[in-house]
Amino acid sequence: MSLSFAAPDDLTWSPDDAIAALHADPKFGVAFTDHMAEAIWTADGGWHDDAVAPYGPLDVNPASAVLHYAQEIFEGLKAYRHADGSVWLFRPDCNAERFANSARRLALPVLPEEDFVTSCLQIAETEARWVPDAGKNGEKSLYLRPFMIAYEDFLGVAPAKRVLYSVICSPVGPYFSGGVSAVRIWLERHNSRTAPGGTGAAKCGGNYAASLLAQEEAYAKGCSQVLFADAVEHAWVEELGGMNIFAVTKDKEIVTPVLTGTILPGVTRRSILGMAPDLGLTPVERRLGVDELLDGIRSGEFPEVFACGTAAVVTPIGSLVDESGETTVKEQAGEVTMAIRNRLLDIQYGRVEDTHGWLRRVC
Ligand SMILES: *Cc1c(COP(=O)(O)O)cnc(C)c1O
């Protein structure tokens, strides 16, 4: 039987002016809404206790398995308000599919994809007043963070027999507070975020934990993100800590590393590949060498490089930095990068026709 994540009748919300104040300049992932969706899974009883409930701390025992063995997965998607006031999700079915794949890799129970979508629709509808207007630069939204954790008080190493699923929500503005400017990226060849046979294709907290040291070192070198090379040869471009990467060729191809199991299959990546022909661009998925990328930037073969993900949408990469120095792509955002970025935002905010059928109406 499918889950309903039904909201009780007696919910209360923050005063409208308090919500409006938070909507004025929302920072990424700082403030949370009044409610959350949740469900419990047990080995004996399957999924149950699904509901929308007031937002608040979880009851986590210090022996809870997730705290020790990181059996955890998550997702990230946004609810967008269109000019007519309606609220929409962007391809929640893709997040549902990926969440199921992540669950399998982490030996967590699979939440049926339709139940995942229901949970997102329900919480987004409950929290509709928390979905901001797009705003002047058209980038405000309500970020949804579904996650699943091992929720069993047991220190033995085994897949948990009790699991918690929840969706929390946070009003967000542009991910990089400075607006759309080109970022410096540290090209990391030593620390790896994942390796063949590992969890790179799953969206799990452990991948992020593994990426933080390189991220810290990148900050110290004046870079804002890390581009990881493959863990075996350190010769192939993979992705950033939380974003996929594209290189634009002078012949209007957009090249992104092919999914090999060590790269997270981004919904934004998939959508950009899907809409490329609409913009007269040729989508290409193939292995991309680190040296090929650097040489191609210098020779003009790759006039633009950008990163993409739900949180930061499309972010132009201004330069790549490594031990041997800085390779500059462009000081500002390139034309193709901006065309893709604007097209994606136009679809998400309902400013152009959704020809691919990617939007799902909440209310
Ligand atoms: C979430 C994530 C992305 C981007 O995926 P989207 O579905 O586009 O948001 C890319 N890389 C990693 C490692 C991620 O965790």
Q: How many domains does the chain have?
A: 2
pLDDT, tens digit (0-9, with 9 covering 90-100), for 156-190: 999 999 999 999 999 999 876 666 889 999 999 89
Q: Residue with the nearest Cα to atom 1 of ligand 1? A: 242
Residues 6+ apart with CB under 8 A from 145: 29, 74, 75, 76, 167, 168, 169, 170
pLDDT, tens digit (0-9, with 9 covering 90-100), for 216-260: 999 999 999 999 999 999 999 999 999 999 999 999 999 999 999
- Reply yes or no on whether the pLDDT at 61 is more than 70: yes
**Cα 36 to chain center, whole Å?**
19
For residue 291, the enclosing domain spans: 183-348
Give the pLDDT mean for 25-42: 95
Domain membership of residue 204 (yes or no) is yes
Mutate to test the pocket of ligand 1, among 98, 239, 244 (most ligand atoms within 8 A of CB): 244
Query: Can you give the pLDDT at residue 225?
Result: 94
Ligand 1 atom with minimal separation from the 75 CA: 1
Domain's final residue, options 122, 142, 172? 172
Residues 162 and 188 in one domain: no
d(CA 187, CA 199): 21
Residue 310, ligand 1, Cβ within 6 A = yes
Residues 38 and 74 in one domain: yes
Domain membership of residue 5 (yes or no) is no
Question: 126-140, 169-183, 235-249, 294-308: lowest mean pLDDT where?
Answer: 169-183
Q: Which residue has the tokens 């948990």?
A: 160
DSSP characters over 67-136: HHH--EEE--EEEEE-TTS-EEEE-HHHHHHHHHHHHHHTTPPPPPHHHHHHHHHHHHHHTGGGS---TT
Residue 242, ligand 1, Cβ within 6 A = yes
Query: Can you give the pLDDT at residue 178?
Result: 64
Beta bridge partners of 78: 143
- In 3D, which of 315, 314, 317 has the Cα closest to residue 344? 314
d(CA 105, CA 318): 35
Residues 225 and 325 in one domain: yes
Q: What CATH number does the domain containing 146 carry?
A: 3.30.470.10
pTM over cut 0.95: yes
Query: Can you give the pLDDT at residue 176?
Result: 67
Ligand 1 atom with minimal separation from the 94 CA: 7
Domain membership of residue 24 (yes or no) is yes
Mutate to test the pocket of ligand 1, among 193, 310, 347, 358 (most ligand atoms within 8 A of CB): 310
- Reply yes or no on whether the pLDDT at 38 is more than 70: yes
